[in-house]
Chains A and B, each alone.
Chain A
Amino acid sequence: MEAISHAGTVMGVLAKDGVVLAAEKKVTGKLLDLSIAKEGGYGGSGEKIFLLNNNVVAGVAGLTADANSLINYARQAAQRHLFSFNEDIPVEQLAQRLCDLKQGYTQYGGLRPFGVSLLYAGYDPHYQFQLYHSDPSGNYSGWKATCIGANNGTAQSLLKQEYKDGLSTEEAIALTIKIMSKTMDSTTLSSEKLEFSTLTLDPTTKQPLAKIYKPAEIDALLAKHGIEKKEDDVAMAS
C-alpha cells in the first residue's frame, strides 16, 4: 500500500465509446535507454501500461517486479479463457482472476502480498466498455473515472468535479490530459513522463481496438491539447 501511494499516477476515464488510460512514468533520466520503448512495443509502452489481451489494457502502480509477474499471469489467464471458450475474456472475469491470486497472498502466511494496484480498461459484449480498479488485498470495483498512485486524492476530486456522464473518447482524452497535467509533480508534461492508451471499437470490424501511444504520438497529443514544453517556457518567460 505504501509503495502504491508513491508510485506514478495512473488515471482511467470511461467514455461512452471508449476508455482512456494515462500513466505517469517515474523512472526517467538522460541515461535510461528507451530505444525499445520508442516503438511503443507490442505489449506496452514501457513502464506502466500493458496490453493484457485484445480487449483489455492495464495500468499498474506499485512494485514493478510484482506488476510484471501479475501481468504475465493475466495474459496467461486471458489466453486460457480464449482456449476454452473461443472468446475474449470478459473484463470483470479477468479482474476477478487477478484478485483471486492477490487475495490468496493475503490469506496464507509466510508470503508477501503483491504490492500492486491495477486499472483495467476493457471491452466485452456483455457490459461494453468498462473500467476496473484492483488493490493488493484483492478487492476490485468498477469505475466511471478513477486514479491510483501518487496524488490520487487530488486527481480523484478533480475527476469528481469535471467528469460528466456520456463523454466521448475525445473528450475523455482531453479531460485525462488536463487533470494529469495538474496533478503530476513535474511541471512539464511530455512523452518522457507520460504513458497513454485508449481502448475503442474498430469502426469497420466493431472489434475492440487497444491503442498504446508511441512517444511521438503522445507529444503530438499533448501539443494538440495545448500542453507542451515550449508553450510552458513561453508562458514562464512572459
Chain B
Amino acid sequence: MECSFALVGKGYVLVAADTTAARSIVKMKSDEDKTKVLSPHLVMTYSGEPGDTVQFAEYIERNIRLQHMRNNHELRPQSSAAWIRRTLADSLRSRHPYSVNLLLGGYDEATSTPHLYWIDYLGTIASVPYAAHGYGSYFALSTLDRYHNPAASLEEGLRTLRRCIDEVANRMAIGVGKFKVRVVDKDGAREVELPPSVSVA
C-alpha cells in the first residue's frame, strides 16, 4: 500500500516515500523512487494512479527547472506549491484529470525557513508541520502528533520518521517495504539513511 510521510524540523524538511510498485495484489518492484528533486532546494513525493504519477511529476519537475533557468533563481517553495496546486486544480477540471497526491518540501533561501505542503489530487493545499498520504496516514499521524518537534535536529527528525514507519509496519495488514528518504535544508536536497528500528516493548 502506497504511503508517504514528511515533517519539518529546525531548518530542514524530511520527506519519505515507500518504494513499492504494486499492481493489484502483486508486488512488481521494490525499489521504485517515488520522490523527485524539483530544484536544488525543493523535493516532492508523489503517489496515486500509476502512470499519472510519473507523467505529472515529470511535468512539474521540468516546469520548475524551466523557471529556475529563466529567472536565474529558484522558484520559492510557496510559489512552487501554489503553481503545482493550480496545475492540479486545472487538471481536475479537464477531460482527463491527473489523480496524484503530493508532499512538497522546500527550503526558502530568501527567508531561511523550511516549508512543507500537503497537496491532494483535488487541488487541496495545506501548509503543515508534518504530513502523510495513503493508508499510512491513518497510523502515523497520531505518532507524529505525539513525537513531532519543530525545533528537532535532523537526527531527532529521522528518529521520529523511523517511529512512523515502524508503526505502520507493525499495524498494517499488508507490509509496506522499504522507504526512500530525502532531506532539504540550507545546503539543498539530498538522500539520507533512516536510523535502525528501535524495538517497542
Contacts and interface: CB of A to CB of B under 8 A. Distances in A.
A87 B71 contact: no
B79 A86 contact: yes
B110 A85 contact: no
Nearest to A81: B79
A175 to B, nearest CB: 29
A141 interface: no
Contacts of A87: 76, 78-79, 82
Nearest to A128: B110
A201 to B, nearest CB: 14
B86 interface: yes
B111 interface: yes
Contacts of A84: 82-83, 86
Given A84-B86, A125-B111, A126-B110, A93 B78 contact: no
Interface in B52-86: 71, 73, 75-76, 78-79, 82-83, 86
A90 interface: yes
A17 interface: no
A192 interface: no
Contacts of B73: 126
Interface size class of B (residues with CB under 8 A): 10 to 19
A83 B89 CA distance: 13
A92 B71 contact: yes
A90 B73 CA distance: 11
Interface string A85-98: 11100101100000
A87 B78 CA distance: 8
A85 B63 CA distance: 13
Nearest to A83: B86
Contacts of B82: 84-87
Nearest to B108: A125
Given A85-B82, A86-B78, A93 B71 contact: yes
Nearest to B74: A126
B90 to A, nearest CB: 10
A84 B78 CA distance: 11
Nearest to B81: A86
Nearest to A86: B82
Contacts of A126: 73, 110
A45 B156 CA distance: 56
Contacts of A93: 71
Nearest to B85: A86
Interface in A81-128: 83-87, 90, 92-93, 125-126
B148 to A, nearest CB: 26
A85 B83 contact: yes
Contacts of A90: 71
Nearest to A124: B110
Interface in B93-148: 110-111
B104 to A, nearest CB: 13
A86 to B, nearest CB: 3
Contacts of B79: 85-87
Contacts of A125: 76, 110-111
23 contacts: A83-B86, A84-B82, A84-B83, A84-B86, A85-B75, A85-B79, A85-B82, A85-B83, A86-B78, A86-B79, A86-B82, A87-B76, A87-B78, A87-B79, A87-B82, A90-B71, A92-B71, A93-B71, A125-B76, A125-B110, A125-B111, A126-B73, A126-B110
Interface of A: 83-87, 90, 92-93, 125-126
Kindly list the 6 A-B residue pairs having the minimum CB-CB distance in the complex, ordered from nearest: A86-B82, A125-B110, A85-B79, A87-B79, A126-B73, A85-B82
Given A85-B79, A93-B71, A125-B111, 20 more contacts: A83-B86, A84-B82, A84-B83, A84-B86, A85-B75, A85-B82, A85-B83, A86-B78, A86-B79, A86-B82, A87-B76, A87-B78, A87-B79, A87-B82, A90-B71, A92-B71, A125-B76, A125-B110, A126-B73, A126-B110
Interface of B: 71, 73, 75-76, 78-79, 82-83, 86, 110-111
